[in-house]
Structure 1
Amino acid sequence: MRAAEQWPAQFVAFDLLRMSGTDTTAWPYMRRRAALEELFTTRGLSAPWVLCPSTTDPRVVREWLTWGSVRLEGVVFKRLTDPYRPAVRGWRKYKTRITTEAIVGAVTGPLTAPRTLLLGRYDTGGHLQYTGRTTTLAGTTARAAAALLTPAAGGHPWMGWTFPAGWGSRQLLDVNLVAPDLVVEVGIDVARDAGGRWRHPARFHRIRAELHPMHVPKLGKPD
């Protein structure tokens, strides 16, 4: 009960696969959606039961994609005439992405030719925290970054840390720590884990050598 009061949860319904004992997966999506909307209306469902919004109006979609402040990850596209196909990728997702800055604290691969950059941000207590990792760098980008990276000296804030290969993965990365001096600009989506780390890999945009690490947004603060 205490956890429910502190972190209230909601059930967001976006499709209807079974209704009153009837398998609806063979119905076209527009029929399933109509039945789902009718269910919410006839049952008078309200919070914590939430009906996921849906539209066929491109103008409404464009407005939704501006809702970055509420951490809207993006929108999912479905064909109105398609049935529900389990384990088949028949939907498309458009992710909302922004560009922001982060500090390079480590790399995978050798310092002379890094494959990916491990990124960090300072929290409000002044501690450098891990926020995520880039996708694989292009050769020209790797060479440009390598020229600005310095091997870590003693007392690196990530000394002794381990880093997962991906969100939810148990596989650990083999990393080389570097002095947390280099700032880079990356493209990210808004999906975060409970600790504020980016759930998906960041896309490298450019080196921001003119920026001091303390100019990078703090962990948990708006970008």
Structure 2
Amino acid sequence: MTWTLPEPMLSTPTSRPDLPPGIAGEPKWDGYRALLSVDEGKVELRSRRGTDLRAAFPEVVSGTAQLRDGTAFDGELVVWEKGRLAFERLQHRLQRRGTTAEWAAGERSAHFVAFDLLRLNGNDITSWPYRRRRTALESVFSARRLTTPWTLCPSTTDQEVVNEWLTWGAVGMEGVIYKRLPEPYRPGARGWLKYKPRETTEAIVGAITGPLAAPRTLLLARHDTSGDLQYVGRTTTLAASASGSIAPLLTVSSDEHPWTAWTFSAGWGSRDTLDVTLVQPDLVGEVGVDVARDSAGRWRHPVRWHRPRPDLSPADVTRITPR
């Protein structure tokens, strides 16, 4: 009987970065969640939502020659570029097939960072506690002497190590995942905890979605070091009170707006475009962001709007490096 990959186990956010007793921490990678199985010579590689990823990542499929039949991993697909995780490169890889996927595998190879072992020597081990699965996962890497594209995700019960990981935002690490040592792998359950460092910073409002009298979201900008106004991210949906306080501070742009004729995607991986209204880029706001950014300095995840900063001018906002 052919074994089928289960649904991935999931996490819920936590506001606490500390590592309690009985819990292990792992770095949270800025990549693409994936589950992989080798069963009777058949390779299965799929995303969290069940998308077949084999055609997009031929180097990972061919790398399964290093694995013993009856092995299944849970992990993260990542692409490294110039010393950091490059999610935008990974995003481009998802769209490639055939010869273009083979070319991309040579130019921007992906790694599979394994953080859990679901099957060992043909046996389903999801009922094992995390600490036992972790030991087995380490044994697979050492016994098989796994090399690229396989990477073993670190794990620790040392708070000092976790604290160091939380400083790795510059290389694309998003935070830490916490897992209970005695807990089995529970498909589809939100049994893990996820901590993401957040910071407060400033950005310029360059456009909005929704009506000018009641903006729904804000498209944010920063000048680059060449003086050009670059898009850096979009806020979550504004609360009614925030929308009402911002509206009087906005002015519809003149034809000389730097973003005239630009289009904006509705989200990462989406082909839908936003219906936006360009506004004069003179309003600065305080925002809350996490550490996930692309190589152009854009925030990958939605931004939380805190408050307008009429005391600041666009010249006071931190600049980014040109694309």
Task: Give matches, 1:112-131, under 5 Å.
Answer: 112-131=213-232
Partner SS for 1:147: helix
Report the Cα offset of residue 119 of structure 1: 0.4
Match of 2:308 in 1: 207
For 1:80, give the aligned amino acid.
L
2:254 to 153, 174, 193: 153
Match of 1:107 in 2: 208
For 1:29, give the aligned amino acid.
Y
Match of 2:162 in 1: 61
Q: Which moved more, 1:136-145 or 1:5-14?
A: 5-14
Give deviations 1:141-195, integer Å, cap 9, x for gaps. 2222222211101121212222222222233322211011111121111112454
| TM-score, scaled relative to structure 1 | 0.85
Q: Which moved more, 1:194-203 or 1:62-71?
A: 62-71
Q: Could you say what the CA RMSD is over the residues aligned between the two structures, in angstroms?
A: 2.5
Gaps of 5+ in 2: 1-101
Partner SS for 1:91: strand
Match of 2:239 in 1: 138
Call closer, same or farther: CA 1:24–1:191 in 2, change over 3 Å.
Answer: same
Contact 1:72 1:96 in 2 (8 A): no
For 1:12, give the aligned amino acid.
V
Report the Cα offset of residue 27 of structure 1: 2.0
CA distance in 1, matches of 2:299, 2:218: 13
Aligned residues: 221
Q: Which moved more, 1:155-164 or 1:83-92?
A: 83-92
Call closer, same or farther: CA 1:219–1:138 in 2, change over 3 Å.
Answer: same
1:97 to 198, 203, 212: 198
Give deviations 1:92-123, integer Å, cap 9, x for gaps. 21111112211100111222221211101223
Q: Which moved more, 1:150-159 or 1:116-125?
A: 116-125
Contact 2:169 2:292 in 1 (8 A): no
CA distance in 2, matches of 1:64, 1:215: 30
For 2:186, give the aligned amino acid.
R
For 2:234, give the aligned amino acid.
R
Contact 1:106 1:178 in 2 (8 A): yes
2:182 to 81, 85, 93: 81
Partner SS for 2:246: helix
Call closer, same or farther: CA 1:86–1:194 in 2, change over 3 Å.
Answer: farther
Report the Cα offset of residue 8 of structure 1: 5.7
- The structure with the largest strand share of the pair is 2
CA distance in 1, matches of 2:197, 2:229: 26
CA distance in 2, matches of 1:186, 1:194: 20
For 1:87, give the aligned amino acid.
G
Call closer, same or farther: CA 1:90–1:171 in 2, change over 3 Å.
Answer: farther
